[in-house]
Amino acid sequence: MSVPHLVIVMPAYNEAEGIRGFIDEIRENVAPLTDRLSFVVADDRSTDATVAALSGIDDVRVEPQTENRGHGPTALAAYRAGLALDPDLLVHVDGDGQFVGPDFARLVGAARTTSADVVHGVRHSRTDPWYRRVLTGAVGLMIASAAGRRVPDVNTPLRAYRPATLRALLDAAPAELLVPHVHFSLAEARGGFSVRYLAVTSIPRRGASTSGTMWGGGVKALVPPPRLRRFVAGALREAWMLSLRPNAPLRGIRKP
């Protein structure tokens, strides 16, 4: 059985070089699995031609943000805009195109053929700088300790959600979260949600420049950029205050 309405949402910042081709590749692979396909791109005030690159595409809706707020808030805005379209299944992916089309078909297929509330795409062969891989591993250990079990690729941006599950997470999430997927992964593990993990391929960001990367430096940088170091400090404070400390507000999220 096909998905009646599949919505794919993505936050984007300065992705003009690769985003249209990325969407075309996703569409080619998932269109046979759905009766209706919609894309929602939340543009975080790009300074390049990202919005223009997406103009005139019938199944793509661009949601310009009122100001540049960073990845977390823009991802949450994309989720909320996608839910407003009343999907039967919603897939989130970042606009930098670090995944391949066939894995989207596998992700949607896993959601169709199982009763999972959410399917996570677990990245392997990642091309990110060493410090980002180390950071992901360290956060994973922290979340495993808090959740009581290991959560693979805790911050993966490739996820397929059933609408009721996503609404339960979004209803509890402040709009300005820095790392919403870390909070979501922890809430899913604690709150009785059924999670399916699917190994997917990770590729370099599409596009020759580094202007779309949030942290600068590119994959060859030898040390974490200052902006990333500041972000990590803020994200750790946020994780403690909202999800990890006793009586943290997001600890109470449960499967509806």
Q: In terms of DSSP bridges, do strands 89-92 and 159-161 run parallel, antiparallel, or are they unpaired? A: antiparallel
pLDDT tens, position by position, 122-152: 998 666 676 666 666 666 677 767 777 778 9
pLDDT tens, position by position, 213-246: 544 444 455 666 777 778 888 888 999 899 999 9
For 102, the token pair is: 């066939």
List the Cα angle 185/188/190 in 5-degree steps. Answer: 110
Domains and CATH numbers, the chain: 3-252 (3.90.550.10)
Coil, helix or strand for 67?
A: coil
Distance CA 133, CA 164 (A): 31
pLDDT at 45 over 80: yes
pLDDT tens, position by position, 2-43: 999 999 999 999 999 999 999 999 999 999 999 999 999 999
Q: What is the pTM of this model?
A: 0.90
Q: Which residue has the tokens 């994309």?
A: 78
- In terms of Cβ atoms closer than 10 Å to its own Cβ (0-12, 13-18, 19+), residue 45 is middle
Coil, helix or strand for 95?
A: coil
User: In degrees rounded to 5, what are phi and psi of residue 13?
Assistant: -145, 115
pLDDT tens, position by position, 89-109: 999 999 999 999 999 999 999
Cα radius of gyration rounded to whole Å, the chain: 17
pLDDT tens, position by position, 152-164: 999 999 999 999 9
Closest by CA position to 184, among listed 98, 233, 236, 120: 120
CB 41 within 8 A of CB 12: yes
CB 89 within 8 A of CB 36: no
